Chain A
């Protein structure tokens, strides 16, 4: 099944990239605030049961995909 893991910096963690992009957007005249930059990971995970696939994706986040000091993830099974 296709799995999409969205990794975001936790609230409160400084995101200098987000801040720079926000300033860039302001430079073009866009009204925007709280820009945060994350990472999107897509993968194919064998299995039929979405709950089981999601549990394995969560284990992958804990082992490697996410650093819990600074990041949090949300998992979608498509």
Chain B
């Protein structure tokens, strides 16, 4: 399985993505500088990493969405290829309009770094197929702009079409405002496009995969991707 990790000036989770996909999962994982115009041949997954691309100038992800490599990432997505955006990667995918909505400043105004629990809302995706609907997993967040927002009418559509992949919850799986760290509408932590091949999320599954470094709550997503690519 070949993974491309686009690297923008200010990306700082690119090595987390490379470690998770390359070292832990053993996939052929290639960093791709933002000025490139083509993804490596036979790229199956594009992992848009977290960080502060272009210093978060204008809006988080707004400038990265215009980077030369993005045209080929859009082509890859349009052809049904998988794209996973984490944290700033999620913000970039929203700004590039590969996903709906926007990430606003956290309700608390603070940068939040903590472990959160997520409930799997969609277990039928290439990103989640080794997990169960309703399953709870623990992964870290680290962001200042994770407050997911969408026009009220579009939010109704997003929910109706099952566009919410993950929701913040208690360790027992209960959702509700008390369990939402950043003010995100409907406790949304991650969403997927209509076709189911582009997923964006604020939490960092790639930071929770190596037992040498701590808990491994993020492994379910990587096992899912491995299954998807094995064609099982």
Contacts and interface: CB of A to CB of B under 8 A. Distances in A.
Contacts, number: 35
A20 B62 contact: no
Contacts of A32: none
Most buried by A among B100, B105, B150: B105
A69 interface: yes
A70 B103 CA distance: 9
A13 B108 CA distance: 15
Given A69-B150, A70-B149, A16 B101 contact: no
B206 to A, nearest CB: 26
Interface in B71-128: 94-95, 100-102, 104-109
Interface residues of B, number: 20
A35 B108 CA distance: 16
A64 B62 CA distance: 7
B183 interface: yes
B133 interface: no
B71 to A, nearest CB: 15
B95 A67 contact: yes
Contacts of A69: 94, 100-102, 149-151
Nearest to B150: A69
Nearest to B110: A16
23 contacts: A13-B104, A13-B149, A14-B104, A14-B147, A16-B105, A16-B106, A16-B107, A16-B108, A16-B109, A16-B183, A17-B105, A17-B109, A20-B109, A64-B58, A64-B66, A65-B58, A67-B95, A67-B102, A69-B100, A69-B149, A69-B150, A69-B151, A70-B104
Given A13-B149, A67-B62, A70-B149, 9 more contacts: A14-B147, A16-B104, A16-B106, A16-B108, A64-B58, A64-B66, A69-B101, A69-B151, A70-B102
Which 9 pairs, one residue from A and one from B, show the smallest C-beta to C-beta distance? A69-B102, A16-B109, A70-B102, A16-B105, A67-B102, A20-B109, A67-B59, A16-B107, A69-B101
Interface of B: 58-59, 62, 66, 94-95, 100-102, 104-109, 147, 149-151, 183
